Amino acid sequence: RKEVEQDPGPFNVPEGATVAFNCTYSNSASQSFFWYRQDCRKEPKLLMSVYSSGNEDGRFTAQLNRASQYISLLIRDSKLSDSATYLCVISNSNSGYALNFGKGTSLLVTP
């Protein structure tokens, strides 16, 4: 079983819609949690870190549930420019701070 699991999608949503992605992780020792965004044929870029209390950045909200071992990303008022693949990323000090990536969830926002 892969350590980080994501629904690959694709999620096809109209502009203005709200969409949510979940990610589950199997290592209870995981300490750091992130969402990265990857545009087609480009390098991944940090979208936001995920903190225990949950955090928000504009239209994006991330939540962490340690008890159930999942993180989520909510995108409100979707824009065409949000179309990308969203990567769930986990890290912990026991693995030398290596980043462990999920396979990504593909989002397509349509007019």
* Residues of the shown chain interacting with other proteins in the complex, contacts defined by CB under 8 A: 8, 31-32, 36, 41-46, 49, 87, 91-93, 96-104
Query: Which of 96, 111 has the CB closer to other proteins?
Result: 96
Query: Which of 17, 99 has the CB closer to other proteins?
Result: 99
Instruction: Tell me the closest approach of the beta carbon of residue 45 to other proteins, in angstroms.
Output: 7
Given a contact cutoff of 8 angstroms between Cβ atoms, the answer to whether 99 and 92 are in contact is no
Sheet with 70-75: strands ordered across: 4-6, 19-25, 70-75, 60-65, 55-57
Contacts of 54 (CB under 8 A, 6+ apart): 61, 62, 63, 64
Query: Which of 56, 77 has the CB closer to other proteins?
Result: 56
Query: What residues are paired with 98 via a beta bridge?
Result: none
Query: Which of 69, 100 has the CB closer to other proteins?
Result: 100
Instruction: Tell me the closest approach of the beta carbon of residue 81 to other proteins, in angstroms.
Output: 20
Q: What are phi and psi of 80, to 5 degrees?
A: -55, -35
